[in-house]
Amino acid sequence: MIIPCIDLMDGKVVQLVQGRTKALEGDAPLAMLGKFAAFPVIQVIDLDAAMGRGSNDAIVEQLAARAVTRVGGGVRSVERAQTLIKAGASKVIVGTAAFQAGGIHEEFLWGLVEAVGRDAVLLALDSKDGHIVVKGWQEATTLKAEEIIRRLEPFCGGFLCTYVDKEGMLQGTDMEWYRRLRQATSHEITAAGGVTTVDEIQELSRLGIHAALGMAIYTGKLDLGELAAMQRQAPLS
């Protein structure tokens, strides 16, 4: 499945390079949602909430009410996850709160599963320099995604795995990393970070991995019409 991304900062749709430098702004959030109407699922990330410097709650709720969305950014409490699900999000994306002191925050995750259901949880395994990063990708842990992913299976319906090293750089992604992740879990995987070409999307599809796309769409590197045709021809459930 091809999943377009809407990343929000200061009330605007943006694209960042490696989660730090703003490279461009897109159209208004609802206008972008209209452009992505051909795709069954949209990924919405509140970057301000992820970085702990505010939120875009009103916009997130508008998007979640109008489309099938996976929503993340600052989901660090059970109450926040419940609010997003009640607002219409089909799944919540949880990263930072899933980890503590170099390990898995099991107490929080069990509470999350009990509150919203395992299938409504996507755990974010964002990797930079080989290790999982948290707090808006600003802080590194000692954990490696491929080593810990199987232990996280009881707490989620799938994983969002972002290769931060290439995020927003239009240089391609690390297919070998995704092959290792695919071998490590039978859960749903969504790939993000540097996916730039149709060939990469097709290879991910052959691995049974969804592709979340941002910069390559916003810059026109990938054509929305061609992507929509690909989605219609070979949807990945």
126 is catalytic: yes
Phi/psi region, residue 160 (left: phi>0; alpha: psi -120 to 50; beta: rest), is beta
Cα–Cα distance measured from residue 17 to residue 30, given in angstroms and rounded to the nearest whole number: 23
| Candidate list 57, 126, 174, 199, residue with the active-site label | 126
> By the 8 A CB rule, do 50 and 80 touch?
no
CA distance linking residue 235 with residue 237, whole number of Å:
6
What's the gap between Cα 168 and its chain centre?
Answer: 13
48 labelled catalytic: no
Instruction: Say how many CA atoms lie within 13 Å of 131 toward its Cβ.
Output: 12
- Phi, psi for residue 103 in degrees, rounded to 5: -145, -170
Stretch (H or E) spanning 209: strand 209-213
Catalytic site positions? 7, 126
